[in-house]
Copies of this chain bind each other. A is one copy, B any other.
Amino acid sequence: MKPKNIVFVGKSIDNYIAGKNGELDWLDMIPNPDQLDMGYNNLMDEIDAIVMGRTSFKTVLGFDIEWPYKKQVFVLSRSLKTVPKNIEDKVTLIKGDENEVLETIHKKGFNKLYIDGGKVVQNFLKQDLIDELRLTTIPIVLGDGISLFEALPKSLEFEHVKTEVFYNEIVQSCYKRKR
């Protein structure tokens, strides 16, 4: 199966994915009475594994919920040594540069990957390793926070795949890298 790296993320109009102190409350500012998953379940069905950084991993651990992922999670971290006992079989710590990490993950048979977390997405973009961007825009100019994008060594052309609007407020655009 051809490898593919997908970004799926909620963002503000000004492309922040979290507030300055990691605030995520604004992501829910538009009520979701129909509990639409806005493509999340499709994504989860489609992928083989999730790749995230230490910060996203800690954030998920900090939510007072059961471990939310059915798919294998790879956590990119130089500093983490262990994961909590109850999710030891679900989480793999991994380190190295983006290409090495992908090689390791592909060798284990995981090809379609959900790339999550600000820093990880930025580093993958820098290496032109992102194949799909699925960006969900909340109608707020956040003004400050953790950016989805930072400067890249070169421009990356995408093709627009589709745009959907949820509740006439939330705009989701999907893009595929032109190669």
Contacts and interface: CB of A to CB of B under 8 A. Distances in A.
Counting contact residues on chain A (CB < 8 A from B), the size range is 35 or more
B152 A140 contact: no
B163 A165 contact: yes
Contacts of A15: 14-15, 149
A97 interface: no
Nearest to A153: B143
Contact of A156 (B135, B140, B153): B140
Contact of A152 (B143, B151, B152, B160): B143
Protomer copies = 2
Nearest to A151: B144
Interface string A117-159: 0000000010000000101010111111000110111111111
B139 A143 contact: no
8 contacts: A13-B133, A13-B149, A142-B155, A143-B153, A143-B156, A160-B170, A160-B171, A163-B171
